[in-house]
Amino acid sequence: MTRVVLSIGSNLGDRLAHLRSVVAALGPRLVAVSSVYSTPPWGGVPQQDYLNAVLVAEDPALEPSDWLRLGQQLEQAAGRVREVRWGARTLDVDLVFAEQRRRDARVVVRSLDPVLTLPHPEAHHRAFVLVPWLEVDPDAELEVTGAAARSLREWLSALDSAEVAGVRRTELTLGWTP
């Protein structure tokens, strides 16, 4: 079974509806859904704030490349246009982490494919990923190239405190209940 962590975000159009569209599409595959967070844009391109969340999902029939394709299909359905790197978007669905779960073990999926790098190579630098991920999986660890596995709390403590403080939990909900 493949278990994945997806980071979703939107800062164009009906931001909450775009995030909810991902939750609706994943439906019974969902294991956990974080709160909705308001976050400043990342990457230096002037734009409005994002709404972000993290989803944990499982599906025995999907491989990481399938999850990537599904995320891209959801982005296209939301009218995502890729014109400016780190620019504004209707919907962003990032595959952050994947693991294969078997009866006797868990194996973290690693990929250095030109299309899919896992774990996501920048996740440990992004408070808008780590804060909601920590909410839904407080024991999660992340190992990145060139560094040993560390808890999400440790990765967060290494970030600029202003960046972490900029990730603000909202009262908005994605309409999912376990």
Q: Which helix (H) or strand (E) holds 59?
A: strand 50-59
pTM for the full predicted model:
0.90
The pLDDT score that the predictor gives to residue 104 is 58
Number of Cβ within 10 Å of residue 66's Cβ equals 13
Amino acid at 79: G
pLDDT at 54: 98
Query: In this structure, what token pair is assigned to residue 118?
Result: 């896992």
Q: Can you list the residues of the chain whose pLDDT is less than 50?
A: none
Q: Contact at 8 Å (CB) between 78 and 36? A: no
| C-alpha distances out from residue 67 to 29, 40, 49, 155, 176, Å | 11, 26, 26, 25, 20
pLDDT attached to residue 103:
57
Give the span between the Cα atoms of 166 and 151, in whole angstroms.
20
Give the chain's radius of gyration (CA, Å): 15
Residue pair 168/38 in contact by the 8 Å Cβ criterion: yes
pLDDT for 43? 74
- What angle, rounded to 10 degrees, do the helices at 64-77 and 15-26 form? 140
Delineate the domains of the chain, giving CATH numbers in brackets.
2-169 (3.30.70.560)
Query: Which residues, other chains included, contact 132 with Cβ-Cβ below 8 Å and sequence gap of 6+?
Result: 7, 34, 35, 37, 52, 53, 54, 167
For residue 94, report the phi and psi dihedrals to the nearest 5 degrees. Answer: -110, 130
